[in-house]
Amino acid sequence: METWLWIIVAVLILAAAAYFWRKKCPSCNERGCDKTGSFVIRTERGQSLRTFTDRTKDRDGNVVSTTKRDVLVTVERQLVRTDWSCPKCHYEFSEQEWREVDQF
């Protein structure tokens, strides 16, 4: 009996999380906006400092030592525009964000 109760509670929590995860309309404040498109506006190449951790292991697989090192890597920054549409009030809006992609 208790197992079913926990399953019902877990399903309700997941349903609430899925509802609040959806995009909110800035006009009518309702959730559930649809993504109508996404495209790259601008691309820039550059370099960024990344920290890598090297682990040395013995024959048994136990970690003997760790070493951190900073590496200058080539990155590509993309300015991405995402268009959204609200199915309730038909308001259309867009968002822009920078995404960084490592070029190994």
Question: Among 79, 84, 81, 73, which residue's Cα sits nearest to residue 99?
Answer: 79
pTM as predicted = 0.60
Q: What's the pLDDT band for 19 if we cut at 50, 70, 90?
A: confident
Q: What is the pLDDT of residue 81?
A: 95
pLDDT tens digits along 50-83: 899 999 989 888 988 999 999 998 899 999 999 9
Percent of the chain with pLDDT over 90: 43
Q: Where are the domains of the chain?
A: 2-103
How high is the pLDDT of residue 101? 83
Question: Three-class SS of residue 25?
Answer: coil
